[in-house]
Every structure is written in C-alpha cells, then in structure tokens.
C-alpha cells in the first residue's frame, strides 16, 4: 500500500503489470485499488488499461463470446 509521503515506484515486473491488467479486463479488480497496489498513479494505469482494452476488442455479435462466459457473478454465486 502507498502511504501519503511514500514515492511511487510502479510494478515490480512487466509480468505483474500484465496480470493486473488482466484482472481489470475481467472485472475482478477496481482500477483505483489496482493502481494503489501497483504503486503507480491512477491516471497512468487508466492510460495503460485503455491501450490494453483497445488491443482486445470484443465482437458483441459473436454468440461464442457469451457462451464461453461460464463463471457465475455476484449475487448468483
């Protein structure tokens, strides 16, 4: 966790950043909380996440996209 007077350092590795972006992409993590845990500014993580999403467009007309979503979400879990 980042304290008020602690400098920001960023993720320990590109792999850590990739896992964090995947958690954001799948809706498993909040962007602000993820930025804090990665020790990077919120605006920078927003930029990185926007680029990550732009590289992975979803075809909403493809029925397989919805058929492959098998994880139950709250409140159904």
**Is the Cβ–Cβ distance between 25 and 14 less than 8 Å?**
no
Better pLDDT: 30 or 72? 30
pLDDT in tens, 25-35: 988 999 999 99
Which tokens go with 57? 């467009």
**Is the Cβ–Cβ distance between 29 and 23 less than 8 Å?**
yes
**What is the reported pTM?**
0.67
- Predicted confidence at residue 59, as pLDDT, reads 76
* Domain ranges for the chain: 1-56
pLDDT in tens, 48-58: 999 999 998 87
Q: What is the mean pLDDT of the chain?
A: 81
Better pLDDT: 21 or 26? 21
């Amino acid at each position: 966790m980042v304290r008020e007077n602690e400098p920001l350092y960023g993720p320990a590795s590109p792999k850590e950043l990739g896992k964090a972006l995947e958690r954001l992409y799948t809706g498993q993590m909040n962007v602000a909380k993820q930025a804090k845990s990665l020790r990077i500014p919120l605006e920078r993580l927003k930029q990185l996440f926007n680029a990550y999403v732009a590289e992975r467009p979803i075809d909403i007309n493809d029925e397989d996209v919805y058929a492959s979503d098998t994880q139950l979400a709250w409140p159904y879990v």
